Amino acid sequence: MLISGQGMSKRIILITGTPCVGKTSVARLLTSKLDALYLNLTELATRENLILGKDKKRDSIIVDENRVKQRINEIVEDCDGKDVIVDGHYAVDVVPETLVTFVFVLRRNPVELRKFMEQGGFSGQKLWENLASEILDVCLIDALNVHGEGKVCELDASGKSLEEVVDDILSILNRNKKCFVGVVDWLGKLEAEGLLDDFLKI
Protein backbone atom coordinates (compact mmCIF):
# COMPACT_ATOMS: atom_id res chain seq x y z
CA MET A 1 0.00 0.00 0.00
CA LEU A 2 1.41 3.38 -0.95
CA ILE A 3 0.75 6.05 1.61
CA SER A 4 2.85 9.15 1.80
CA GLY A 5 2.63 12.89 1.73
CA GLN A 6 4.85 12.93 -1.36
CA GLY A 7 2.18 13.43 -4.00
CA MET A 8 0.22 10.29 -3.06
CA SER A 9 -3.49 10.63 -2.70
CA LYS A 10 -3.98 9.52 0.89
CA ARG A 11 -2.37 10.98 4.01
CA ILE A 12 -2.65 9.59 7.53
CA ILE A 13 -2.36 12.47 9.99
CA LEU A 14 -2.15 11.96 13.75
CA ILE A 15 -3.27 14.67 16.18
CA THR A 16 -1.88 13.94 19.63
CA GLY A 17 -1.09 15.72 22.88
CA THR A 18 -1.99 15.81 26.55
CA PRO A 19 -5.72 15.60 27.49
CA CYS A 20 -7.54 18.98 27.23
CA VAL A 21 -4.92 20.46 24.89
CA GLY A 22 -7.54 20.78 22.11
CA LYS A 23 -6.92 17.66 20.00
CA THR A 24 -10.52 16.79 19.22
CA SER A 25 -11.63 20.31 18.24
CA VAL A 26 -8.54 20.70 16.03
CA ALA A 27 -8.91 17.23 14.49
CA ARG A 28 -12.61 17.75 13.71
CA LEU A 29 -12.08 21.15 12.05
CA LEU A 30 -9.09 19.82 10.09
CA THR A 31 -11.22 16.85 8.98
CA SER A 32 -13.91 19.15 7.60
CA LYS A 33 -11.35 21.38 5.82
CA LEU A 34 -9.69 18.39 4.14
CA ASP A 35 -12.92 16.42 3.62
CA ALA A 36 -11.09 13.60 5.42
CA LEU A 37 -12.15 10.58 7.46
CA TYR A 38 -12.10 11.29 11.22
CA LEU A 39 -11.10 8.64 13.75
CA ASN A 40 -11.32 9.33 17.47
CA LEU A 41 -9.45 6.45 19.14
CA THR A 42 -11.45 6.44 22.38
CA GLU A 43 -14.76 6.49 20.46
CA LEU A 44 -13.55 3.73 18.14
CA ALA A 45 -12.36 1.52 21.02
CA THR A 46 -15.59 2.05 22.96
CA ARG A 47 -17.93 1.63 19.98
CA GLU A 48 -16.27 -1.58 18.75
CA ASN A 49 -15.49 -2.89 22.23
CA LEU A 50 -11.71 -2.93 21.65
CA ILE A 51 -11.10 -2.60 25.37
CA LEU A 52 -9.48 -4.76 28.03
CA GLY A 53 -11.20 -3.16 31.01
CA LYS A 54 -11.45 0.00 33.07
CA ASP A 55 -8.82 1.83 35.08
CA LYS A 56 -11.00 2.77 38.06
CA LYS A 57 -8.29 4.87 39.67
CA ARG A 58 -7.95 7.08 36.59
CA ASP A 59 -11.58 6.70 35.49
CA SER A 60 -10.52 5.72 31.98
CA ILE A 61 -10.76 2.71 29.68
CA ILE A 62 -7.85 0.35 29.04
CA VAL A 63 -7.60 -0.06 25.29
CA ASP A 64 -6.61 -3.30 23.58
CA GLU A 65 -3.83 -1.72 21.52
CA ASN A 66 -3.27 -4.74 19.27
CA ARG A 67 -6.91 -4.95 18.25
CA VAL A 68 -7.15 -1.17 17.74
CA LYS A 69 -4.02 -1.30 15.53
CA GLN A 70 -5.54 -4.10 13.46
CA ARG A 71 -8.83 -2.22 13.10
CA ILE A 72 -7.09 1.00 12.01
CA ASN A 73 -5.20 -0.98 9.38
CA GLU A 74 -8.53 -2.24 8.01
CA ILE A 75 -10.14 1.22 8.05
CA VAL A 76 -7.17 2.78 6.23
CA GLU A 77 -7.16 -0.01 3.63
CA ASP A 78 -10.87 0.61 2.93
CA CYS A 79 -10.60 4.38 2.81
CA ASP A 80 -10.20 5.09 -0.89
CA GLY A 81 -8.07 8.13 -1.52
CA LYS A 82 -9.30 10.09 1.50
CA ASP A 83 -6.98 11.57 4.10
CA VAL A 84 -7.46 10.03 7.54
CA ILE A 85 -7.22 12.16 10.69
CA VAL A 86 -6.57 10.15 13.86
CA ASP A 87 -7.28 11.87 17.18
CA GLY A 88 -5.92 10.49 20.45
CA HIS A 89 -3.14 10.94 22.98
CA TYR A 90 -1.92 7.37 22.33
CA ALA A 91 -2.26 7.58 18.52
CA VAL A 92 1.47 6.94 17.98
CA ASP A 93 1.16 3.62 19.84
CA VAL A 94 -1.70 2.20 17.76
CA VAL A 95 -1.42 3.58 14.23
CA PRO A 96 1.12 1.46 12.31
CA GLU A 97 4.23 3.59 11.83
CA THR A 98 4.50 2.80 8.10
CA LEU A 99 1.08 4.36 7.43
CA VAL A 100 1.72 7.72 9.06
CA THR A 101 2.41 10.89 7.03
CA PHE A 102 2.58 13.44 9.86
CA VAL A 103 2.20 13.56 13.65
CA PHE A 104 1.06 16.90 15.05
CA VAL A 105 1.76 17.18 18.78
CA LEU A 106 -0.33 19.99 20.25
CA ARG A 107 1.19 21.81 23.22
CA ARG A 108 -0.39 24.23 25.66
CA ASN A 109 1.06 26.43 28.38
CA PRO A 110 0.46 24.53 31.67
CA VAL A 111 -1.11 27.65 33.26
CA GLU A 112 -3.74 27.73 30.49
CA LEU A 113 -3.97 23.93 30.34
CA ARG A 114 -4.71 23.64 34.06
CA LYS A 115 -7.74 25.93 33.62
CA PHE A 116 -9.01 23.80 30.72
CA MET A 117 -8.45 20.61 32.72
CA GLU A 118 -10.31 21.93 35.74
CA GLN A 119 -13.18 23.05 33.48
CA GLY A 120 -13.13 19.52 32.01
CA GLY A 121 -13.59 17.98 35.46
CA PHE A 122 -9.99 16.94 36.11
CA SER A 123 -8.87 17.10 39.73
CA GLY A 124 -6.46 15.51 42.21
CA GLN A 125 -4.03 12.89 40.95
CA LYS A 126 -5.51 12.83 37.43
CA LEU A 127 -4.99 16.59 37.06
CA TRP A 128 -1.40 16.53 38.34
CA GLU A 129 -0.44 13.46 36.29
CA ASN A 130 -1.67 15.05 33.06
CA LEU A 131 -0.08 18.43 33.82
CA ALA A 132 3.23 16.66 34.56
CA SER A 133 2.90 14.84 31.26
CA GLU A 134 2.61 18.19 29.41
CA ILE A 135 5.44 19.84 31.38
CA LEU A 136 7.76 16.86 30.79
CA ASP A 137 6.98 16.57 27.02
CA VAL A 138 5.65 12.99 27.34
CA CYS A 139 3.49 12.98 24.16
CA LEU A 140 6.25 14.66 22.14
CA ILE A 141 8.88 12.16 23.33
CA ASP A 142 6.55 9.22 22.57
CA ALA A 143 5.98 10.56 19.04
CA LEU A 144 9.70 11.11 18.44
CA ASN A 145 10.56 7.64 19.75
CA VAL A 146 8.24 6.06 17.18
CA HIS A 147 8.56 8.40 14.19
CA GLY A 148 11.74 10.46 14.55
CA GLU A 149 11.96 14.17 13.73
CA GLY A 150 10.99 14.05 10.05
CA LYS A 151 7.29 13.35 10.60
CA VAL A 152 6.72 14.95 14.02
CA CYS A 153 5.56 18.58 14.17
CA GLU A 154 5.19 20.35 17.51
CA LEU A 155 2.59 23.15 17.64
CA ASP A 156 2.04 25.57 20.51
CA ALA A 157 -1.72 26.14 20.77
CA SER A 158 -1.47 28.48 23.79
CA GLY A 159 -3.63 31.57 23.36
CA LYS A 160 -4.51 30.63 19.77
CA SER A 161 -7.96 30.21 18.28
CA LEU A 162 -8.98 26.86 16.88
CA GLU A 163 -8.80 28.31 13.34
CA GLU A 164 -5.24 29.57 13.89
CA VAL A 165 -4.03 26.13 15.00
CA VAL A 166 -5.72 24.41 12.05
CA ASP A 167 -4.27 27.02 9.65
CA ASP A 168 -0.80 26.22 11.04
CA ILE A 169 -1.37 22.52 10.33
CA LEU A 170 -2.66 23.22 6.80
CA SER A 171 0.39 25.41 6.08
CA ILE A 172 2.67 22.51 7.03
CA LEU A 173 0.62 20.00 5.01
CA ASN A 174 0.80 22.34 2.01
CA ARG A 175 4.58 22.70 2.50
CA ASN A 176 4.28 26.46 3.13
CA LYS A 177 5.60 26.10 6.66
CA LYS A 178 8.31 23.90 8.10
CA CYS A 179 7.53 21.06 10.48
CA PHE A 180 9.83 21.02 13.50
CA VAL A 181 10.13 20.23 17.21
CA GLY A 182 11.68 22.17 20.08
CA VAL A 183 8.96 24.82 20.10
CA VAL A 184 8.31 24.99 23.85
CA ASP A 185 10.17 24.48 27.13
CA TRP A 186 7.51 24.48 29.84
CA LEU A 187 9.93 23.22 32.49
CA GLY A 188 12.29 26.16 31.90
CA LYS A 189 9.42 28.64 31.60
CA LEU A 190 7.70 27.59 34.84
CA GLU A 191 11.03 27.52 36.65
CA ALA A 192 11.88 31.03 35.43
CA GLU A 193 8.45 32.27 36.58
CA GLY A 194 8.78 30.57 39.99
CA LEU A 195 5.72 28.40 39.26
CA LEU A 196 7.28 24.96 38.89
CA ASP A 197 6.38 23.71 42.40
CA ASP A 198 2.78 24.86 41.90
CA PHE A 199 2.40 22.79 38.72
CA LEU A 200 4.75 19.80 38.98
CA LYS A 201 3.37 17.83 41.90
CA ILE A 202 4.04 14.25 40.81
pLDDT interval class at 6 (50, 70, 90): very low
4's CB contacts (< 8 A; 6+ apart) are 11, 101
Could you tell me which of 100, 90, 99 has the C-alpha nearest to residue 41? 90
Which letter does DSSP use for residue 89 in this model?
T
What are residue 133's phi and psi, to 5 degrees?
A: -60, -40
**Per-residue confidence (pLDDT) for residue 91, from 0 to 100:** 94
- C-alpha angle with apex 25: 23 to 26, nearest 5 degrees? 65
Q: Shortest CA distance to 101 belongs to which of 185, 183, 1?
A: 1
pLDDT tens track for 53-68: 888 777 778 889 999 9
- Answer whether 0.85 is exceeded by the pTM: yes
Output the CATH code of domain 12-199.
3.40.50.300
Of the pLDDT bands very low, low, confident and very high (cuts 50, 70, 90), residue 79 is confident
pLDDT interval class at 1 (50, 70, 90): very low
Q: Answer yes or no: is pLDDT of 29 > 90.
A: yes
Q: What is the mean pLDDT of residues 63-74?
A: 91
CA distance linking residue 85 with residue 21, whole number of Å: 17
Residue 14 has pLDDT above 70, yes or no: yes
Q: Between residues 95 and 3, which one has the greater pLDDT? A: 95
List pLDDT tens digits, range 142-179: 999 999 888 999 999 999 999 999 999 999 999 999 99
Higher-pLDDT residue of 202 and 117 is 117
Q: Report pLDDT for 164.
A: 98
Give tens-digit pLDDT for 85-143: 999 999 999 998 999 999 999 999 999 999 999 999 999 999 999 999 999 999 999 99
Residue 102: predicted pLDDT: 96
Q: What is the mean pLDDT of residues 8-16?
A: 87
C-alpha distance from residue 34 to each of 8, 25, 57, 82, 169 (Å): 15, 14, 38, 9, 11
pLDDT at 180 (0 to 100): 92
Element (H, E) at 142: helix 138-147
User: Long-range contact list for 77-83, CB < 8 A, 24+ apart?
Assistant: 77/1, 79/10, 79/37, 81/9, 81/10, 82/10, 82/35, 82/36, 82/37, 83/10, 83/11, 83/12, 83/13, 83/34, 83/35, 83/36, 83/37
Backbone φ and ψ of 20, nearest 5°: 75, 10
Question: What pLDDT is recorded for position 48?
Answer: 93
